[in-house]
Amino acid sequence: MAEGDKPGWVERIAALLLREPVDREQLIELLHSAYEKNLLDADALTMIEGVLQVSEMQVRDIMLPRSQMDVIDITDPPEKFIPFVIETAHSRFPVIGENKDDVIGILLAKDLLRYYAGEDFDVRDMLRPAVFIPESKRLNVLLKEFRSNRNHIAIVVDEYGGVAGMVTIEDVLEQIVGDIEDEYDYDETEDNIFRDASGRYRVKALTEIADFNEVLGVEFSDEEFSTIGGLVISKFGHLPKRGEQITFDGMKFTVLRADSRRVHSLLLERLPVVPEIEGT
């Protein structure tokens, strides 16, 4: 290193780690010490902790449950399932036979361009092989496999061979770097509350309840929770995953984006008011 050059953050952390931590707890303690001494910024610390966490987590900890999987039935014609593909806006879909335990392949949404191009189109010809993994597989091992076989999605099976859920490479990476947006995700630069053409609302979870009340004309209390995300999570009673739904006070909330740490955005649909019948 030339005289006068300042050491980089890697060199400074290496010097800090000369204390030789004897276990993971001490390592994390040293990393937090590095952060407090401005040797690491918050994002770097979060990612390093994410890497350490991934090595201890299993697929069952982050998978999308079977009940929430968006799938395509192999017997459905394209004109029936294409609107579903457009609505859900995923890039990959498990294709099933008799039921969700019978996953016969993966359909890439981009392959549907052949249908619109007027080519002979048979869904079976478009399918990519499905990869099946056990619930107990560790995330660091799965990430290595995703990278080596260039797969982006895997079907999770339980000890009896039934489908328990699915997991994507994005799900794994989000444990390290936080939530990842793709071209179909809700634009975080838009307003906190956005009404779409169907009359439903896309709402950022960090929207203040006071602002939510003003726009929607409701009166949710903000004494216990300050954001609409906090209120919705309290109604679930757990940290919900993408696709989970809950209904209360005449509104149905669907989780649009979430990771293992927080909810990012919600889809809100007002439910029709059922008139009361006199005498009941």
Residue 226 DSSP symbol: S
pLDDT value of position 183: 41
Q: Tell me, yes or no, whether 82 and 156 share the same domain.
A: yes
Q: What is the mean pLDDT of residues 2-15?
A: 58
- The answer, yes or no, to whether residue 141 has pLDDT greater than 50, is yes
37-63 pLDDT per residue, tens: 777 777 777 777 777 778 888 898 888
Q: Tell me, yes or no, whether 217 and 129 share the same domain.
A: no
Domain boundary among 111, 145, 177: 177
Share of the chain above pLDDT 70, in %: 82
CA–CA distance from 108 to each of 44, 142, 171, 172 (Å)? Answer: 33, 21, 18, 20
Residue at 35 is within a domain: no
The boundaries of the domain holding residue 248 are 193-270
How many C-beta neighbours within 10 Å does residue 26 have? 12
Total domains in the chain come to: 2
Q: Tell me, yes or no, whether 209 and 168 share the same domain.
A: no
The Cα 78–Cα 93 span in angstroms is 13
Helix ranges, 186-247 (H): 209-216, 228-236
* Average pLDDT in the chain: 82
- The answer, yes or no, to whether residue 96 has pLDDT greater than 80, is yes
Residue at 70 is within a domain: yes
Q: What is the pTM of this model?
A: 0.57
pLDDT grade for 186, boundaries at 50, 70 and 90: very low
CATH of the domain at 130: 3.10.580.10
For 28, the token pair is 């994390």
How many C-beta neighbours within 10 Å does residue 17 have? 13
